[in-house]
Structure 1
Amino acid sequence: MSRFTTPFGYTSTAAEVISGVDLSGRRAVVTGGASGIGVETARALAGAGAEVTLAVRNTAAGERVAAEIIESTGNNHVFVAPIELADPASVRAFAGSWTGPLHILVNNAGVMAEPLNRTPQGWEHQFATNHLGHFGLSLGLHDALAAAGDARVVSVSSSAHLQSDVVFDDIHFEHREYHPWLAYGQSKTANVLFAVEAAKRWAADGIVTNALMPGGIRTALQRHVSEEMQAGWDQYRWKTVEQGAATSVLLAASPVVLGVTGRYFEDNQEALPNVAGERNGVAPYALDPESATRLWDVSEKLLSQV
Protein backbone atom coordinates (compact mmCIF):
# COMPACT_ATOMS: atom_id res chain seq x y z
CA MET A 1 0.00 0.00 0.00
CA SER A 2 1.65 3.21 -1.15
CA ARG A 3 1.83 6.31 1.03
CA PHE A 4 -0.97 8.79 0.40
CA THR A 5 -0.01 12.44 -0.09
CA THR A 6 -1.97 15.66 -0.50
CA PRO A 7 -1.24 19.21 -1.75
CA PHE A 8 -1.38 20.50 1.83
CA GLY A 9 1.26 20.65 4.54
CA TYR A 10 2.39 21.76 7.98
CA THR A 11 1.26 25.38 7.72
CA SER A 12 -2.07 24.74 5.96
CA THR A 13 -5.13 25.89 7.86
CA ALA A 14 -8.53 24.30 8.25
CA ALA A 15 -10.03 26.98 6.00
CA GLU A 16 -7.46 26.26 3.30
CA VAL A 17 -7.96 22.50 3.19
CA ILE A 18 -11.73 22.89 2.93
CA SER A 19 -11.75 25.83 0.51
CA GLY A 20 -14.30 25.31 -2.24
CA VAL A 21 -15.94 22.32 -0.55
CA ASP A 22 -19.74 22.43 -0.22
CA LEU A 23 -21.07 20.47 2.77
CA SER A 24 -24.67 21.60 2.43
CA GLY A 25 -27.05 18.86 3.55
CA ARG A 26 -24.32 17.03 5.47
CA ARG A 27 -24.35 16.57 9.23
CA ALA A 28 -21.35 16.47 11.55
CA VAL A 29 -20.60 15.80 15.20
CA VAL A 30 -17.42 17.17 16.80
CA THR A 31 -16.62 16.00 20.32
CA GLY A 32 -14.86 18.58 22.42
CA GLY A 33 -16.09 21.24 20.01
CA ALA A 34 -16.11 23.97 22.64
CA SER A 35 -12.35 24.40 23.02
CA GLY A 36 -9.01 24.18 21.26
CA ILE A 37 -8.86 22.73 17.78
CA GLY A 38 -12.40 21.41 18.22
CA VAL A 39 -13.70 24.97 17.81
CA GLU A 40 -11.81 25.52 14.58
CA THR A 41 -12.77 22.08 13.27
CA ALA A 42 -16.43 22.86 13.89
CA ARG A 43 -16.07 26.36 12.42
CA ALA A 44 -14.54 25.07 9.19
CA LEU A 45 -17.26 22.44 8.74
CA ALA A 46 -20.01 24.96 9.49
CA GLY A 47 -18.37 27.48 7.17
CA ALA A 48 -18.64 24.94 4.35
CA GLY A 49 -22.36 24.57 5.02
CA ALA A 50 -22.58 21.49 7.25
CA GLU A 51 -24.96 21.13 10.15
CA VAL A 52 -22.64 20.77 13.13
CA THR A 53 -23.35 19.45 16.62
CA LEU A 54 -20.84 20.24 19.34
CA ALA A 55 -20.77 17.25 21.70
CA VAL A 56 -19.38 18.71 24.91
CA ARG A 57 -19.19 18.30 28.69
CA ASN A 58 -19.73 22.00 29.38
CA THR A 59 -22.87 22.93 27.51
CA ALA A 60 -22.71 26.57 28.63
CA ALA A 61 -19.30 26.90 26.99
CA GLY A 62 -20.66 24.99 24.01
CA GLU A 63 -23.53 27.43 23.59
CA ARG A 64 -21.13 30.38 23.66
CA VAL A 65 -18.93 28.78 21.01
CA ALA A 66 -21.92 27.79 18.88
CA ALA A 67 -23.20 31.38 18.92
CA GLU A 68 -19.77 32.66 17.90
CA ILE A 69 -19.51 30.12 15.05
CA ILE A 70 -22.97 31.06 13.84
CA GLU A 71 -21.98 34.71 13.85
CA SER A 72 -18.67 34.15 12.06
CA THR A 73 -19.98 31.74 9.40
CA GLY A 74 -23.58 32.81 8.91
CA ASN A 75 -24.62 29.16 9.33
CA ASN A 76 -27.27 28.90 12.04
CA HIS A 77 -27.30 25.09 11.99
CA VAL A 78 -24.81 24.76 14.83
CA PHE A 79 -26.09 22.88 17.84
CA VAL A 80 -24.89 21.73 21.25
CA ALA A 81 -25.48 18.42 23.04
CA PRO A 82 -24.08 17.10 26.32
CA ILE A 83 -21.70 14.18 26.54
CA GLU A 84 -19.32 12.87 29.19
CA LEU A 85 -17.07 10.47 27.32
CA ALA A 86 -15.84 8.71 30.47
CA ASP A 87 -19.44 7.83 31.40
CA PRO A 88 -20.86 5.03 29.21
CA ALA A 89 -24.43 6.00 30.12
CA SER A 90 -23.86 9.53 28.85
CA VAL A 91 -22.34 8.22 25.63
CA ARG A 92 -25.29 5.88 25.09
CA ALA A 93 -27.71 8.72 25.76
CA PHE A 94 -26.07 10.93 23.15
CA ALA A 95 -26.04 8.17 20.54
CA GLY A 96 -29.58 7.13 21.41
CA SER A 97 -30.92 10.64 20.92
CA TRP A 98 -29.44 10.99 17.44
CA THR A 99 -31.90 10.68 14.57
CA GLY A 100 -31.24 10.56 10.85
CA PRO A 101 -27.97 10.07 9.01
CA LEU A 102 -24.58 11.27 10.21
CA HIS A 103 -21.97 12.07 7.59
CA ILE A 104 -19.00 13.17 9.71
CA LEU A 105 -17.91 12.15 13.21
CA VAL A 106 -14.80 13.86 14.56
CA ASN A 107 -13.60 12.14 17.73
CA ASN A 108 -11.67 15.17 18.92
CA ALA A 109 -12.11 15.53 22.69
CA GLY A 110 -9.48 14.30 25.10
CA VAL A 111 -7.53 14.62 28.30
CA MET A 112 -3.74 14.59 28.47
CA ALA A 113 -1.16 13.51 31.03
CA GLU A 114 -3.46 13.87 34.03
CA PRO A 115 -2.73 12.46 37.51
CA LEU A 116 -4.09 9.00 38.16
CA ASN A 117 -7.86 9.10 38.01
CA ARG A 118 -10.29 6.23 37.74
CA THR A 119 -13.87 5.99 36.58
CA PRO A 120 -16.47 4.30 38.82
CA GLN A 121 -15.79 1.13 36.78
CA GLY A 122 -12.12 1.27 37.80
CA TRP A 123 -10.96 2.23 34.31
CA GLU A 124 -7.96 4.52 33.93
CA HIS A 125 -9.52 7.87 33.04
CA GLN A 126 -7.44 8.81 30.02
CA PHE A 127 -8.10 5.46 28.36
CA ALA A 128 -11.76 5.67 29.33
CA THR A 129 -12.16 9.15 27.87
CA ASN A 130 -9.86 9.18 24.87
CA HIS A 131 -10.54 5.67 23.63
CA LEU A 132 -13.47 3.89 25.27
CA GLY A 133 -15.75 6.92 25.15
CA HIS A 134 -15.11 7.51 21.47
CA PHE A 135 -15.26 3.80 20.72
CA GLY A 136 -18.68 3.55 22.37
CA LEU A 137 -19.88 6.72 20.65
CA SER A 138 -18.77 5.49 17.23
CA LEU A 139 -20.46 2.13 17.74
CA GLY A 140 -23.60 3.82 19.03
CA LEU A 141 -23.73 6.04 15.93
CA HIS A 142 -22.82 3.26 13.50
CA ASP A 143 -26.29 2.94 12.01
CA ALA A 144 -26.51 6.70 11.48
CA LEU A 145 -23.09 6.67 9.83
CA ALA A 146 -24.07 3.73 7.63
CA ALA A 147 -27.28 5.52 6.65
CA ALA A 148 -25.21 8.38 5.25
CA GLY A 149 -23.70 6.02 2.66
CA ASP A 150 -20.31 7.74 2.57
CA ALA A 151 -19.57 8.71 6.16
CA ARG A 152 -16.20 9.63 7.59
CA VAL A 153 -14.98 8.99 11.13
CA VAL A 154 -11.92 10.95 12.21
CA SER A 155 -10.00 10.14 15.40
CA VAL A 156 -7.60 12.73 16.81
CA SER A 157 -4.55 10.86 18.05
CA SER A 158 -1.12 12.29 18.88
CA SER A 159 2.59 11.81 18.39
CA ALA A 160 2.43 10.77 22.04
CA HIS A 161 1.26 7.40 20.76
CA LEU A 162 5.00 6.81 20.33
CA GLN A 163 5.25 6.69 24.13
CA SER A 164 3.34 3.42 24.51
CA ASP A 165 1.62 0.56 22.79
CA VAL A 166 -1.62 -0.67 24.35
CA VAL A 167 -0.51 -2.80 27.29
CA PHE A 168 -3.22 -5.42 27.14
CA ASP A 169 -2.02 -7.21 30.25
CA ASP A 170 -2.58 -4.09 32.37
CA ILE A 171 -4.47 -1.42 30.45
CA HIS A 172 -5.75 0.29 33.59
CA PHE A 173 -2.50 0.39 35.59
CA GLU A 174 -3.75 -1.97 38.24
CA HIS A 175 -0.40 -3.78 38.60
CA ARG A 176 2.20 -1.38 37.17
CA GLU A 177 3.24 2.04 38.35
CA TYR A 178 1.11 4.78 36.88
CA HIS A 179 2.77 7.23 34.55
CA PRO A 180 0.60 9.99 33.05
CA TRP A 181 2.43 10.09 29.72
CA LEU A 182 2.42 6.33 29.27
CA ALA A 183 -1.31 6.32 29.97
CA TYR A 184 -1.88 9.13 27.50
CA GLY A 185 0.30 7.49 24.88
CA GLN A 186 -1.54 4.19 25.26
CA SER A 187 -4.88 5.92 24.75
CA LYS A 188 -3.59 7.68 21.63
CA THR A 189 -2.31 4.39 20.19
CA ALA A 190 -5.79 3.03 20.81
CA ASN A 191 -7.24 5.86 18.69
CA VAL A 192 -5.14 4.73 15.74
CA LEU A 193 -5.91 1.04 16.24
CA PHE A 194 -9.62 1.87 16.31
CA ALA A 195 -9.33 3.52 12.90
CA VAL A 196 -7.48 0.51 11.53
CA GLU A 197 -10.10 -1.98 12.71
CA ALA A 198 -13.17 0.13 11.94
CA ALA A 199 -11.87 0.66 8.40
CA LYS A 200 -11.99 -3.11 7.93
CA ARG A 201 -15.26 -3.81 9.73
CA TRP A 202 -17.24 -0.92 8.29
CA ALA A 203 -15.99 -0.78 4.71
CA ALA A 204 -19.15 -2.48 3.44
CA ASP A 205 -21.20 0.29 5.08
CA GLY A 206 -19.36 2.96 3.12
CA ILE A 207 -17.72 4.29 6.30
CA VAL A 208 -14.10 5.39 6.13
CA THR A 209 -12.06 5.88 9.31
CA ASN A 210 -8.71 7.56 9.80
CA ALA A 211 -6.59 8.88 12.66
CA LEU A 212 -4.29 11.86 12.85
CA MET A 213 -1.72 13.85 14.76
CA PRO A 214 -2.84 17.50 14.76
CA GLY A 215 0.55 18.94 15.69
CA GLY A 216 1.65 20.87 18.75
CA ILE A 217 -0.90 23.55 19.64
CA ARG A 218 -1.09 25.57 22.85
CA THR A 219 -4.54 24.78 24.25
CA ALA A 220 -6.24 23.84 27.51
CA LEU A 221 -5.28 20.24 26.73
CA GLN A 222 -1.96 20.97 28.46
CA ARG A 223 -3.58 22.00 31.74
CA HIS A 224 -2.18 18.95 33.57
CA VAL A 225 1.36 19.48 32.27
CA SER A 226 3.76 21.13 34.71
CA GLU A 227 5.08 24.61 34.00
CA GLU A 228 8.58 23.16 34.19
CA MET A 229 7.86 20.66 31.44
CA GLN A 230 6.10 23.25 29.30
CA ALA A 231 9.11 25.54 29.65
CA GLY A 232 11.18 22.82 28.04
CA TRP A 233 8.90 22.95 25.02
CA ASP A 234 9.80 26.55 24.17
CA GLN A 235 11.94 25.43 21.23
CA TYR A 236 9.07 23.40 19.80
CA ARG A 237 7.52 24.58 16.55
CA TRP A 238 3.95 25.34 17.56
CA LYS A 239 0.98 25.50 15.25
CA THR A 240 -1.94 27.92 15.47
CA VAL A 241 -5.30 26.36 16.30
CA GLU A 242 -6.35 26.99 12.70
CA GLN A 243 -3.35 24.96 11.50
CA GLY A 244 -3.90 22.35 14.20
CA ALA A 245 -7.45 21.70 12.99
CA ALA A 246 -6.42 21.33 9.36
CA THR A 247 -5.68 17.60 9.28
CA SER A 248 -8.94 16.79 11.09
CA VAL A 249 -10.88 18.86 8.57
CA LEU A 250 -8.99 17.38 5.63
CA LEU A 251 -9.95 13.86 6.70
CA ALA A 252 -13.49 14.88 7.60
CA ALA A 253 -14.45 16.70 4.45
CA SER A 254 -11.90 17.08 1.66
CA PRO A 255 -12.46 15.29 -1.65
CA VAL A 256 -8.68 14.96 -1.85
CA VAL A 257 -8.82 11.98 0.55
CA LEU A 258 -12.00 10.43 -0.82
CA GLY A 259 -12.02 6.69 -0.10
CA VAL A 260 -8.82 6.76 1.97
CA THR A 261 -9.30 4.67 5.12
CA GLY A 262 -7.49 2.97 7.97
CA ARG A 263 -4.51 5.33 7.96
CA TYR A 264 -2.67 7.79 10.21
CA PHE A 265 -1.98 11.33 9.03
CA GLU A 266 0.13 14.24 10.28
CA ASP A 267 0.60 17.68 8.73
CA ASN A 268 -2.06 16.81 6.14
CA GLN A 269 -0.07 13.86 4.78
CA GLU A 270 -0.12 10.16 5.55
CA ALA A 271 2.62 9.71 8.12
CA LEU A 272 5.84 7.89 7.39
CA PRO A 273 7.01 5.09 9.70
CA ASN A 274 8.56 6.47 12.87
CA VAL A 275 12.33 6.58 13.07
CA ALA A 276 13.64 5.74 16.56
CA GLY A 277 14.32 8.89 18.52
CA GLU A 278 12.15 11.11 16.32
CA ARG A 279 8.88 12.71 17.44
CA ASN A 280 7.02 12.22 14.19
CA GLY A 281 5.80 9.33 12.09
CA VAL A 282 3.69 6.37 13.12
CA ALA A 283 4.74 3.43 15.30
CA PRO A 284 4.27 0.04 13.63
CA TYR A 285 2.35 -1.24 16.66
CA ALA A 286 -0.30 1.45 16.12
CA LEU A 287 -1.13 -0.01 12.71
CA ASP A 288 -0.89 -3.67 13.69
CA PRO A 289 -4.05 -5.44 12.47
CA GLU A 290 -3.95 -8.15 15.13
CA SER A 291 -3.68 -5.58 17.93
CA ALA A 292 -6.49 -3.59 16.33
CA THR A 293 -8.80 -6.61 16.39
CA ARG A 294 -7.80 -7.47 19.95
CA LEU A 295 -8.43 -3.92 21.15
CA TRP A 296 -11.88 -3.89 19.53
CA ASP A 297 -12.84 -7.12 21.27
CA VAL A 298 -11.49 -5.94 24.65
CA SER A 299 -13.30 -2.62 24.31
CA GLU A 300 -16.60 -4.25 23.41
CA LYS A 301 -16.28 -6.54 26.43
CA LEU A 302 -15.54 -3.65 28.81
CA LEU A 303 -18.50 -1.61 27.60
CA SER A 304 -20.83 -4.62 27.66
CA GLN A 305 -20.25 -4.93 31.42
CA VAL A 306 -21.77 -1.54 32.29
Structure 2
Amino acid sequence: MKNNANSIEKQSSTLQSVNYKTQMQSNIVDHNGNTLFSIVYPNPDKETLILLHGGPGFPSDLSAVADLLKDYFQVITFHQRGTQKSPCRDKDYSMQAYLSDIETVREFYKINKFHLWGHSWGGLYAQIYAEKHPDNLLSLFLCSPGSGTNTQWKQTEKEVMQLNKSKTSAWAWTKMGLNSLLGALGSNEAYKRLFKQVMKNYNEGFIATDHSDLTDDFYLLKAEPINKTRPEIIKYPLLTGLEKPDFKITIVYGDQDIYTTSKNFVINRYPTAQVFTLSNSGHIPWLHHPEAYNDVVRNHYQ
Protein backbone atom coordinates (compact mmCIF):
# COMPACT_ATOMS: atom_id res chain seq x y z
CA MET A 1 0.00 0.00 0.00
CA LYS A 2 2.80 2.41 0.80
CA ASN A 3 4.40 2.06 -2.63
CA ASN A 4 1.15 3.19 -4.22
CA ALA A 5 0.73 6.07 -1.81
CA ASN A 6 4.29 7.28 -2.24
CA SER A 7 3.79 7.53 -5.99
CA ILE A 8 0.59 9.47 -5.39
CA GLU A 9 2.34 12.01 -3.20
CA LYS A 10 5.35 12.39 -5.46
CA GLN A 11 3.45 12.73 -8.71
CA SER A 12 0.54 14.91 -7.66
CA SER A 13 -0.11 16.87 -4.50
CA THR A 14 -3.77 17.13 -5.50
CA LEU A 15 -4.20 13.59 -6.81
CA GLN A 16 -4.98 14.74 -10.33
CA SER A 17 -5.19 11.80 -12.69
CA VAL A 18 -2.64 11.21 -15.46
CA ASN A 19 -5.01 10.15 -18.20
CA TYR A 20 -2.52 8.66 -20.62
CA LYS A 21 -1.74 5.68 -18.44
CA THR A 22 -4.85 3.67 -17.67
CA GLN A 23 -7.70 2.78 -20.02
CA MET A 24 -11.10 1.59 -18.83
CA GLN A 25 -12.40 -1.86 -19.74
CA SER A 26 -15.81 -3.38 -19.05
CA ASN A 27 -16.66 -7.01 -18.36
CA ILE A 28 -19.85 -8.93 -17.66
CA VAL A 29 -19.35 -11.13 -14.61
CA ASP A 30 -21.62 -14.17 -14.37
CA HIS A 31 -22.87 -15.14 -10.93
CA ASN A 32 -25.08 -18.22 -10.99
CA GLY A 33 -27.12 -16.88 -13.88
CA ASN A 34 -27.19 -13.32 -12.56
CA THR A 35 -24.85 -10.89 -14.30
CA LEU A 36 -22.85 -7.96 -12.97
CA PHE A 37 -21.67 -5.18 -15.25
CA SER A 38 -18.15 -4.33 -14.10
CA ILE A 39 -15.56 -1.74 -15.02
CA VAL A 40 -11.85 -2.16 -14.48
CA TYR A 41 -8.96 0.24 -14.93
CA PRO A 42 -6.14 -2.29 -15.37
CA ASN A 43 -2.91 -1.43 -13.61
CA PRO A 44 -0.56 -4.43 -13.48
CA ASP A 45 1.48 -4.92 -10.31
CA LYS A 46 -0.61 -2.39 -8.37
CA GLU A 47 -2.97 -3.13 -5.51
CA THR A 48 -6.69 -3.33 -6.28
CA LEU A 49 -9.35 -0.89 -5.12
CA ILE A 50 -13.04 -1.86 -5.38
CA LEU A 51 -15.64 0.94 -5.37
CA LEU A 52 -19.23 0.43 -4.18
CA HIS A 53 -21.79 2.94 -5.41
CA GLY A 54 -24.79 4.16 -3.43
CA GLY A 55 -28.44 3.34 -3.90
CA PRO A 56 -29.60 0.64 -3.67
CA GLY A 57 -31.02 0.36 -7.16
CA PHE A 58 -29.38 3.52 -8.50
CA PRO A 59 -26.02 2.60 -10.06
CA SER A 60 -23.05 4.77 -10.90
CA ASP A 61 -19.73 4.23 -12.66
CA LEU A 62 -18.16 6.54 -10.04
CA SER A 63 -15.94 7.85 -12.81
CA ALA A 64 -14.81 10.94 -10.91
CA VAL A 65 -13.73 8.79 -7.96
CA ALA A 66 -12.00 6.27 -10.21
CA ASP A 67 -10.23 8.99 -12.21
CA LEU A 68 -8.58 10.17 -9.03
CA LEU A 69 -6.94 6.85 -8.25
CA LYS A 70 -6.80 4.75 -11.41
CA ASP A 71 -3.16 5.54 -12.12
CA TYR A 72 -2.03 4.34 -8.70
CA PHE A 73 -4.29 1.32 -8.18
CA GLN A 74 -6.17 -1.19 -10.27
CA VAL A 75 -9.65 0.25 -9.77
CA ILE A 76 -12.78 -1.86 -10.16
CA THR A 77 -16.42 -0.90 -9.83
CA PHE A 78 -19.61 -2.74 -10.73
CA HIS A 79 -23.29 -2.00 -11.06
CA GLN A 80 -25.04 -3.72 -8.18
CA ARG A 81 -27.59 -6.48 -8.61
CA GLY A 82 -30.94 -5.68 -10.15
CA THR A 83 -29.97 -2.45 -11.89
CA GLN A 84 -30.37 -2.02 -15.66
CA LYS A 85 -27.01 -3.51 -16.66
CA SER A 86 -26.87 -6.11 -13.87
CA PRO A 87 -30.11 -8.11 -14.07
CA CYS A 88 -30.89 -10.22 -11.02
CA ARG A 89 -32.70 -13.27 -12.34
CA ASP A 90 -33.01 -15.07 -9.01
CA LYS A 91 -34.63 -12.01 -7.36
CA ASP A 92 -32.43 -12.51 -4.29
CA TYR A 93 -31.62 -9.22 -2.57
CA SER A 94 -30.44 -10.62 0.75
CA MET A 95 -27.29 -9.20 2.26
CA GLN A 96 -25.65 -12.59 1.73
CA ALA A 97 -26.39 -12.30 -1.99
CA TYR A 98 -24.85 -8.82 -2.06
CA LEU A 99 -21.76 -10.11 -0.24
CA SER A 100 -21.43 -12.98 -2.68
CA ASP A 101 -21.42 -10.45 -5.54
CA ILE A 102 -18.26 -8.84 -4.18
CA GLU A 103 -16.71 -12.27 -3.77
CA THR A 104 -17.66 -13.15 -7.35
CA VAL A 105 -16.05 -9.96 -8.66
CA ARG A 106 -12.97 -10.61 -6.54
CA GLU A 107 -12.62 -14.13 -7.91
CA PHE A 108 -13.32 -13.06 -11.51
CA TYR A 109 -10.44 -10.57 -11.40
CA LYS A 110 -8.23 -13.01 -9.45
CA ILE A 111 -7.79 -10.67 -6.49
CA ASN A 112 -6.54 -11.80 -3.10
CA LYS A 113 -6.68 -8.75 -0.85
CA PHE A 114 -7.98 -5.35 -1.86
CA HIS A 115 -8.89 -1.85 -0.71
CA LEU A 116 -12.64 -1.26 -0.32
CA TRP A 117 -14.33 2.13 -0.85
CA GLY A 118 -18.05 2.69 -0.38
CA HIS A 119 -20.39 5.68 -0.63
CA SER A 120 -23.80 6.13 1.04
CA TRP A 121 -25.62 2.77 0.82
CA GLY A 122 -22.37 1.47 -0.70
CA GLY A 123 -20.63 2.59 2.48
CA LEU A 124 -22.99 0.44 4.53
CA TYR A 125 -22.54 -2.40 2.04
CA ALA A 126 -18.78 -2.04 2.58
CA GLN A 127 -19.22 -2.22 6.35
CA ILE A 128 -21.29 -5.39 6.09
CA TYR A 129 -18.60 -6.94 3.88
CA ALA A 130 -15.79 -5.83 6.20
CA GLU A 131 -17.47 -7.48 9.16
CA LYS A 132 -17.85 -10.78 7.28
CA HIS A 133 -14.56 -10.81 5.36
CA PRO A 134 -12.01 -8.66 7.22
CA ASP A 135 -9.13 -10.88 6.12
CA ASN A 136 -9.71 -9.85 2.50
CA LEU A 137 -9.18 -6.15 3.09
CA LEU A 138 -6.14 -3.91 2.84
CA SER A 139 -8.11 -0.83 3.89
CA LEU A 140 -11.65 0.51 4.24
CA PHE A 141 -12.71 3.99 3.07
CA LEU A 142 -16.25 5.03 4.08
CA CYS A 143 -17.46 8.09 2.19
CA SER A 144 -20.65 9.53 3.72
CA PRO A 145 -21.62 5.94 4.58
CA GLY A 146 -25.05 4.67 5.48
CA SER A 147 -25.25 4.50 9.26
CA GLY A 148 -26.31 0.94 9.90
CA THR A 149 -28.66 -1.99 9.46
CA ASN A 150 -31.88 -2.88 11.27
CA THR A 151 -33.24 -0.07 13.49
CA GLN A 152 -30.28 2.13 12.56
CA TRP A 153 -31.34 2.07 8.91
CA LYS A 154 -34.78 3.31 9.92
CA GLN A 155 -33.21 6.23 11.78
CA THR A 156 -31.07 6.98 8.74
CA GLU A 157 -34.17 7.06 6.55
CA LYS A 158 -35.84 9.56 8.88
CA GLU A 159 -32.82 11.87 8.70
CA VAL A 160 -32.74 11.70 4.91
CA MET A 161 -36.47 12.38 4.75
CA GLN A 162 -36.09 15.42 7.01
CA LEU A 163 -33.34 16.85 4.82
CA ASN A 164 -35.34 16.37 1.64
CA LYS A 165 -38.42 17.97 3.18
CA SER A 166 -36.37 20.97 4.29
CA LYS A 167 -35.02 21.45 0.75
CA THR A 168 -38.32 21.41 -1.14
CA SER A 169 -41.51 23.41 -1.47
CA ALA A 170 -44.77 21.94 -0.20
CA TRP A 171 -45.78 21.01 -3.76
CA ALA A 172 -42.40 19.44 -4.58
CA TRP A 173 -42.57 17.47 -1.35
CA THR A 174 -46.04 16.23 -2.25
CA LYS A 175 -44.76 15.07 -5.64
CA MET A 176 -41.87 13.29 -3.96
CA GLY A 177 -44.35 11.45 -1.76
CA LEU A 178 -46.46 10.45 -4.74
CA ASN A 179 -43.45 9.24 -6.72
CA SER A 180 -42.21 7.31 -3.69
CA LEU A 181 -45.59 5.56 -3.44
CA LEU A 182 -45.69 4.74 -7.15
CA GLY A 183 -42.09 3.54 -6.99
CA ALA A 184 -42.94 1.26 -4.08
CA LEU A 185 -45.63 -0.22 -6.32
CA GLY A 186 -42.96 -1.02 -8.91
CA SER A 187 -42.72 2.03 -11.18
CA ASN A 188 -39.20 2.63 -12.48
CA GLU A 189 -40.25 5.98 -13.95
CA ALA A 190 -41.66 7.22 -10.65
CA TYR A 191 -38.41 6.41 -8.86
CA LYS A 192 -36.46 8.18 -11.60
CA ARG A 193 -38.53 11.32 -10.98
CA LEU A 194 -38.08 10.92 -7.24
CA PHE A 195 -34.32 10.48 -7.41
CA LYS A 196 -33.92 13.44 -9.75
CA GLN A 197 -35.44 15.61 -7.03
CA VAL A 198 -33.38 13.87 -4.34
CA MET A 199 -30.14 14.53 -6.21
CA LYS A 200 -31.17 18.13 -6.78
CA ASN A 201 -31.70 18.48 -3.04
CA TYR A 202 -28.34 16.88 -2.24
CA ASN A 203 -26.42 19.15 -4.60
CA GLU A 204 -28.21 22.46 -4.27
CA GLY A 205 -25.79 25.08 -3.02
CA PHE A 206 -22.71 23.02 -3.91
CA ILE A 207 -22.69 22.25 -7.64
CA ALA A 208 -25.02 22.53 -10.62
CA THR A 209 -27.98 20.27 -9.94
CA ASP A 210 -27.78 18.88 -13.48
CA HIS A 211 -24.12 17.82 -13.11
CA SER A 212 -23.36 15.09 -15.67
CA ASP A 213 -21.74 12.80 -13.08
CA LEU A 214 -25.12 12.60 -11.37
CA THR A 215 -27.63 12.66 -14.21
CA ASP A 216 -26.20 10.15 -16.68
CA ASP A 217 -27.26 7.14 -14.64
CA PHE A 218 -30.97 7.80 -14.03
CA TYR A 219 -31.97 5.55 -16.93
CA LEU A 220 -30.18 2.63 -15.23
CA LEU A 221 -32.27 2.89 -12.05
CA LYS A 222 -34.66 0.05 -11.22
CA ALA A 223 -37.50 -0.17 -8.71
CA GLU A 224 -37.05 -3.83 -7.84
CA PRO A 225 -33.69 -3.59 -6.04
CA ILE A 226 -34.84 -0.46 -4.22
CA ASN A 227 -37.98 -2.15 -2.96
CA LYS A 228 -36.51 -5.56 -2.21
CA THR A 229 -33.20 -4.50 -0.66
CA ARG A 230 -34.69 -2.22 1.99
CA PRO A 231 -36.47 -4.99 3.97
CA GLU A 232 -33.31 -7.09 3.79
CA ILE A 233 -31.28 -4.25 5.33
CA ILE A 234 -33.87 -3.85 8.07
CA LYS A 235 -33.95 -7.56 8.94
CA TYR A 236 -30.14 -7.83 8.99
CA PRO A 237 -28.63 -7.86 12.51
CA LEU A 238 -27.06 -4.70 13.88
CA LEU A 239 -23.40 -4.46 12.96
CA THR A 240 -20.94 -4.99 15.79
CA GLY A 241 -18.02 -3.17 14.21
CA LEU A 242 -14.30 -3.85 14.20
CA GLU A 243 -12.43 -2.87 17.34
CA LYS A 244 -8.89 -3.71 16.27
CA PRO A 245 -8.72 -4.37 12.54
CA ASP A 246 -5.31 -4.91 10.98
CA PHE A 247 -6.11 -2.42 8.21
CA LYS A 248 -6.69 1.31 8.03
CA ILE A 249 -10.20 2.76 8.19
CA THR A 250 -11.14 6.28 7.16
CA ILE A 251 -14.59 7.85 7.56
CA VAL A 252 -15.48 11.11 5.84
CA TYR A 253 -18.65 13.21 5.90
CA GLY A 254 -19.63 16.62 4.64
CA ASP A 255 -20.51 19.19 7.27
CA GLN A 256 -23.93 19.46 5.59
CA ASP A 257 -24.35 15.76 4.94
CA ILE A 258 -27.71 14.01 4.79
CA TYR A 259 -26.91 12.04 7.96
CA THR A 260 -27.01 13.76 11.35
CA THR A 261 -26.91 11.98 14.71
CA SER A 262 -26.89 8.51 13.13
CA LYS A 263 -23.30 9.18 12.02
CA ASN A 264 -22.29 8.30 15.55
CA PHE A 265 -23.25 4.68 14.94
CA VAL A 266 -20.50 4.47 12.33
CA ILE A 267 -17.93 6.46 14.26
CA ASN A 268 -18.44 4.39 17.42
CA ARG A 269 -18.30 1.15 15.41
CA TYR A 270 -14.68 1.77 14.38
CA PRO A 271 -12.63 3.19 17.27
CA THR A 272 -9.38 3.06 15.28
CA ALA A 273 -10.77 4.97 12.30
CA GLN A 274 -9.69 8.42 11.25
CA VAL A 275 -12.78 10.61 10.96
CA PHE A 276 -12.98 13.73 8.79
CA THR A 277 -15.75 16.29 8.36
CA LEU A 278 -15.32 18.41 5.25
CA SER A 279 -16.45 22.02 5.34
CA ASN A 280 -18.77 23.36 2.64
CA SER A 281 -19.76 19.87 1.57
CA GLY A 282 -22.89 17.77 1.48
CA HIS A 283 -23.36 14.09 0.71
CA ILE A 284 -21.09 13.90 -2.36
CA PRO A 285 -17.79 15.33 -1.10
CA TRP A 286 -15.65 14.46 -4.12
CA LEU A 287 -17.82 16.85 -6.15
CA HIS A 288 -18.83 19.32 -3.44
CA HIS A 289 -15.36 20.03 -2.02
CA PRO A 290 -12.85 18.11 -4.17
CA GLU A 291 -9.72 19.74 -2.75
CA ALA A 292 -10.56 18.70 0.81
CA TYR A 293 -11.73 15.27 -0.32
CA ASN A 294 -8.47 14.71 -2.22
CA ASP A 295 -6.50 15.55 0.91
CA VAL A 296 -8.41 12.90 2.87
CA VAL A 297 -7.84 10.32 0.13
CA ARG A 298 -4.12 11.08 0.09
CA ASN A 299 -4.01 10.76 3.88
CA HIS A 300 -5.75 7.38 3.73
CA TYR A 301 -3.60 5.74 1.06
CA GLN A 302 -0.23 6.27 2.68
Band of TM-score, shorter chain: 0.3 to 0.5
Indicate the structure with greater strand content. 2
Q: Please give the TM-score of this superposition, normalised by the length of structure 1.
A: 0.36
TM-score by length of 2: 0.37
